[in-house]
Structure 1
Amino acid sequence: MKRFMLAVVLLLATLLAGTPALAAAPSVTQTSVTVLTTTGRTALTYTGYMNGESFQQDGITTVAGWQYTAFWDQSGYVNLSRRKLPSGAWQNLRLTDYATTSTDSHNTISIGVSRQDGTLHLAFDMHSSALRYRRSVAGLATSPDTAAWQASSFGAVRTTLTGAAMPALTYPQFLTTPAGKLQLALRTGTSGAGDEVLYEYASGAWTLVGRFIDGTTADNNAYLFGLEYDSTGLLHATWTVRETSNASTNHDLFYAYSRDDGRTWRNNAGTVVATTGSTPLISDSAGLRVWSIGQNRGLINQESQVVDAAGIVHVLASHLPAAAASNADFTAARESAVLVHYWRDKASKVWHQTYTPFLERSSRGDIGVDAGDNLYVASGDSSTRKLHIETASKASGWTDWTLRYTSAAIYYSDPLIDHERLRGLGVLSIFAPRYGGSQIDVQDWTVRP
């Protein structure tokens, strides 16, 4: 019997020795917390500040070894800050030729960068209202060590991109094509009845590509989780749809992709279903709904999307767990809503869902990816006022979601991740407004997959 037991033990040891270790979610180690400002705009509306909302694409980003971010100060001026990585001091520009009177947290500032001519672009201060836009001189972003960092490097505020009149606009989102062209997506119309339009910047001028999501025909509107190119040049869009201005009518996860810089669009199966400008995407078209999420599920719009190096689309959403009863009271439903990770396998085109146990209440999170396709989430909690970092490993199939950090009860609104720095340099930088709005921190974390 002893010999038999010994043989069993040796056999088990041999088997275990040949078995790979279970995947572990990446860890994070904080390296610094810098104070971006102590004069941020303090108005609190829609449970957030004008500095730090999930739909800012981008609110903080890295280009050519320098990091850029923007914020409103208490006087209503746009501030653009930069620092040389890894540890340079923040250099701030205060653009005082335009002052907002808004206290609406929709009226954020988004930053775009043209890789072709090195211009920095700002879109800001719009919620179903006129465009507010300005850009820098050429080379400001691509020659940061020599270009003059001064307010006069930026042109005047404009209310049109092409010279033609523009409708009421909201949610400016910049993105860059594989060829280095800069694009800008915006919503026209209003909550519950709006479209998505796309513009493109090249050779120093903007042109209208056209309307790519039609919501007004069905009297609803798409809310983008994200709009992003992968390494092969495919443009991926994910969104939810709202039927009225009531957030409880948000429903479902939709997906489409483009092979030609947003000119034509394919559904999940790869069939061409829309042409920008003439026959745009309509959410009810075949193959666009990839996951059913009913109304009254506390589904919040515009959380986050990222595409990894393998071309796998990841969506961070939050809504009620499957077993929870539906609730038409959106605020009450959000108290029980949890973060949910959706992802699309590029080869099989199959979508997957993983519920996490993490709560946010009325806040929204941001999802980022490192060079090894591991995932990182920065999320807030409007009830506890704490900031969290959660991670998941590619090796586990992103099922090992683990809480890696919880802050003191000092943060509020939506944290923002510098996606370029995480993907390219392995550093998780988080734009994090403190409760009250006046102070904004930037946290830096090294990641260890």
Structure 2
Amino acid sequence: MNIYKKIICGLCILSLFACATKNNVETAVGYGWSNNSVNTVKFRKNALTSFKNFQFIGYYDADGTLVLGKRKLNTTHWDIVKTPYKGNVKDAHNSISIAVDGDGYLHVSWDHHDTKLRYAKSKLPLGLDLGNEEPMTGISEQKLTYPEFYNLPNGNLLFFYRSGASGRGNMVINSYNLEDKKWSQLQTNLLNGENNRSAYWQAKVDSKGVIHLSWVWRESWDVSTNHDLCYARSKDGGLSWEKSNGEKYTLPITVATAELAWKIPEKSSLINQTAMTTDAKGNPYIASYWSDNNIPQFQIVYLENGVWKKTNTAFRQTSFYLGGGGTKQIPISRPDVLVQEQGKNRYLYLLFRDKERDNKIAVAYTNLNQGNSWKVMDLSATPVGEWEPNHDISLWDKKNKLHIFVQKVNQIDGEGLAKTEPTMIQVLEINQLPK
């Protein structure tokens, strides 16, 4: 990138986040690959995470190198390290996921789409210098997709991934123990597609350490065969699982035994791999989108007093149909979901972007306890392309602060590549959410 283009890009960054809420902060991190959406896909867990007074970030730069960054919270300077590792950035599935364990070690997994495990750990606590690639358990590590880390309250980590291919994959869960600094496998096939289908999940660990898991089933490689929203939870770190009424599952869970949180037929433009959160009582909230009448709408399915309920945002006005394979160019992003409770008020927030709104970063919100209609507000002044939201989950859970990973990216339908210059990666800090 020549100096003129850098200056122009820098000027664009200054105007990118002219936020509708006051006193928000945007911090530049570095230039990243933007020819597809590999840096911003929704199933990154995590793109951005915090430990004590430090925040960590991971992304691919222009030549596909895995880059790590660290800063002290409430500062704007990032320490950036180009690791010796690269990924196949031409495939948007091959994203980077990071987490920090309770001892402060950074764990990184990257570059997967039906390929062998790629995993490394920092040499020192709070360090960015990674050790050698290594296996976790050596079991079912040859054909991985969708690696995701989750933090447990005791400092241990969970690692979820799909073993096998789209339409016939199984869900594996590994556990990292701080005491012996080793990984073990808890589940080899928690969600069993029975070689006929696969599950696409999202998960949330609540403040008490309960693991909440939801998923849709897909009958083939075609996203149009997504159907039904199902649920399970674990109160013992992932060893045993139960339904929302406490009934124990016989493992593995299959399409016949799964608890149905919401019935959704195939060919409903139902998206997969979205987001979950929980409230103070441990009730799960599952965000997704699908179509009831040819217009896909963002919808939230949630548990209240033991009963599954749904709120439909219903503000979208344009139709599209979700079908086919590969990474899609979709008019809307998958949503991120947050709950904020204040007294008798229970505010729900959805982070998203929508071509209807010129692909700007937006937030939809409502007071669920008052039955208010959904309102929408833009958080950016200019488009972010095919970006999808990732926020610092650890920071939100511990301090109720919302930091969002942002990069303007492009996605050509079906794993196509755009020809664009690298774009600046930023962290957007939302200091006041609307009510």
TM-score range, shorter chain: 0.7 to 0.9
**Counterparts of 1:192 and 1:323, CA distance in 2:** 26
* 8 A contact 1:371–1:423 mirrored in 2: no
* 8 A contact 1:30–1:444 mirrored in 2: no
> What residue identity is the alignment partner of 2:255?
S
The aligned counterpart of 1:355 is: 313
> What residue identity is the alignment partner of 1:438?
T
- Residues 140-161 of structure 1 deviation map (CA, whole Å, 9 limit, x = unaligned): 2xxxxxxxx452xx21123x21
Q: Please identify, of 365-374 and 413-422, the stretch whose mean Cα deviation from structure 2 is larger.
A: 365-374
The aligned counterpart of 2:94 is: 107
> What residue identity is the alignment partner of 1:416?
N
Number of aligned residue pairs: 385
* 8 A contact 1:368–1:417 mirrored in 2: no
Shift of 1:242: 0.5
Question: Are residues 1:71 and 2:30 paired?
Answer: no
Report the CA distance shift for 1:163/1:298 in structure 2 as closer, same or farther (over 3 A): closer
Shift of 1:221: 0.5
Report the CA distance shift for 1:239/1:89 in structure 2 as closer, same or farther (over 3 A): same
**Counterparts of 1:163 and 1:234, CA distance in 2:** 27
* 8 A contact 2:261–2:301 mirrored in 1: no
> What residue identity is the alignment partner of 1:285?
T
The aligned counterpart of 1:230 is: 206
The aligned counterpart of 1:80 is: 68
Q: Please identify, of 420-429 and 62-71, the stretch whose mean Cα deviation from structure 2 is larger.
A: 420-429
> What residue identity is the alignment partner of 1:35?
A
The aligned counterpart of 1:374 is: 347
The aligned counterpart of 2:280 is: 309
SS at match of 1:352: strand
SS at match of 1:257: strand
**Counterparts of 1:426 and 1:409, CA distance in 2:** 26
What percentage of aligned pairs have identical amino acids? 27
- Residues 128-147 of structure 1 deviation map (CA, whole Å, 9 limit, x = unaligned): 1111110113532xxxxxxx
The aligned counterpart of 2:197 is: 220
Shift of 1:428: 1.9
* 8 A contact 1:252–1:291 mirrored in 2: yes
**Counterparts of 1:123 and 1:371, CA distance in 2:** 34
Shift of 1:260: 1.3
Question: Are residues 1:56 and 2:44 paired?
Answer: yes
Question: Are residues 1:343 and 2:316 paired?
Answer: no
Shift of 1:54: 0.6
The aligned counterpart of 2:163 is: 188
Please list, as runs of the form range in 1=range in 2, the aligned pairs for 1:12-411 lying within 5 A after superposition: 28-38=21-31, 40-44=32-36, 49-95=37-83, 97-115=84-102, 117-140=103-126, 149-151=127-129, 154-158=130-134, 160-164=135-139, 166-202=141-177, 203-217=180-194, 219-224=196-201, 226-274=202-250, 279-285=251-257, 288-320=259-291, 322-324=292-294, 336-345=295-304, 347-358=305-316, 361-370=331-340, 372=342, 374-382=347-355, 384-396=358-370, 399-411=372-384
Q: Please identify, of 27-36 and 174-183, the stretch whose mean Cα deviation from structure 2 is larger.
A: 27-36
> What residue identity is the alignment partner of 2:35?
A
> What residue identity is the alignment partner of 2:381?
A
Tell me which structure has the larger Cα radius of gyration. Answer: 1
**Counterparts of 2:277 and 2:219, CA distance in 1:** 25
Shift of 1:83: 1.5
- Residues 238-258 of structure 1 deviation map (CA, whole Å, 9 limit, x = unaligned): 111100000000011100111
TM-score by length of 2: 0.83
**Counterparts of 1:101 and 1:424, CA distance in 2:** 34
Shift of 1:374: 3.0
Shift of 1:446: 0.9
**Counterparts of 2:204 and 2:226, CA distance in 1:** 22
Q: Which has the higher relative contact order, 1 or 2, with Cα contacts under 8 A spaced 6 or more apart? A: 2
> What residue identity is the alignment partner of 1:440?
I
**Counterparts of 1:241 and 1:306, CA distance in 2:** 20
The aligned counterpart of 1:11 is: none
**Counterparts of 2:69 and 2:300, CA distance in 1:** 32
Q: Please identify, of 52-61 and 385-394, the stretch whose mean Cα deviation from structure 2 is larger.
A: 385-394
**Counterparts of 1:52 and 1:385, CA distance in 2:** 14
SS at match of 2:241: strand
